[in-house]
Amino acid sequence: MTEFRPSRFEILPVIIKNLVIINGLFFLAQNSLSQTGSMFSLEDYFALHAWQSQLFKPWQLLTHMFMHGSFWHLFGNMFALWMFGSVLENLWGSKRFLTFYIICGLGAALIHLLFLNYEIGGLMRDYSALLNQHKEGEISISEFNRVTSYYNLKLNTATLGASGAVFGVLAAFVYLFPNTYIYLYFLVPIKAKWLGLGYFAFEVFYALKNSAGDNVARWAHIGGAIVGLILVLTWNKTNRKSFF
């Protein structure tokens, strides 16, 4: 099975529909609380934080998948989830698809935390050395306060969005239906395998580049795709087929 040809299937299957609704409700709650000036922050409580942060809670590994930073962030993830996930849910059934989606999201979060731990670990060592210098009077209070503000900002920055899980869905679709044509901007046809490989290479390039100001969780995207591919390879190991 290298090309998907729709026949009788649900356009909006039950799990996809409910995921879209839940993500939408979370987004509405986020905006409602921010507009009312509430002291309670959904991002602090439900978005994913580095485990060194005081804001980290274990349930954030799951709940961050239902949080989004903007309408277009939400729309892009939900559109991709529907576009590729509806095919997989019709193929696998609702229970297996939901299991796949959750595992991809959890895997993406764990891989993101591992790389975040590497970055935060270096920052914590530098800050500890700076703290000792401050105690010995080697740096000014204003400079120390400026660095402390930056340190706390980096330590407590939240990661949110369903992108990691969606990348897992995309990876599974590309593996199962590599020769299906996807129409970029609804005009330009490209086979799913080239779109998937190109997008994955793009994410790896920018993850390794690690540009200042890039606030996209690239390693979560990469992690979700890797977990999704491993999972679909495991489930599909008895079905030999050609990718190219």
In a domain, 42, yes or no: no
- Beta strands of the chain (E only): which ranges? 181-184, 188-191
Q: What is residue 189's three-state secondary structure?
A: strand
Angle at 31 (CA atoms; ends 30, 32), nearest 5 degrees: 95
In a domain, 173, yes or no: yes
- pLDDT band per the 50, 70, 90 thresholds, residue 238: low
Residue-wise pLDDT tens digits, 174-202: 999 999 988 876 678 889 999 999 989 99
In a domain, 139, yes or no: no
> What integer is the mean pLDDT of 202-224?
83
In a domain, 15, yes or no: no
What is the DSSP code string of 26-70?
HHHHHHHHHHHT-S--HHHHHSB--TTSTT--TTHHHHGGG--SS
Instruction: Indicate the helix (H) or strand (E) that contains 206.
Output: helix 192-209
In a domain, 182, yes or no: yes
Give the CATH number of the domain where residue 221 resides.
Answer: 1.20.1540.10
Residue-wise pLDDT tens digits, 60-81: 999 999 999 899 999 999 999 9
The domain containing residue 196 runs over which residues? 58-125+160-235
- As a whole number of angstroms, the distance between CA 152 and CA 117 comes to 15
Number of domains, the chain: 1
In a domain, 201, yes or no: yes
Angle at 61 (CA atoms; ends 88, 206), nearest 5 degrees: 75
What is the DSSP code string of 102-156?
HHHHHHHHHHHHHHHHHHHHHHHHHHHHHHHHHHTT-S-HHHHHHHHHHHHHHHT
In a domain, 172, yes or no: yes
In a domain, 242, yes or no: no
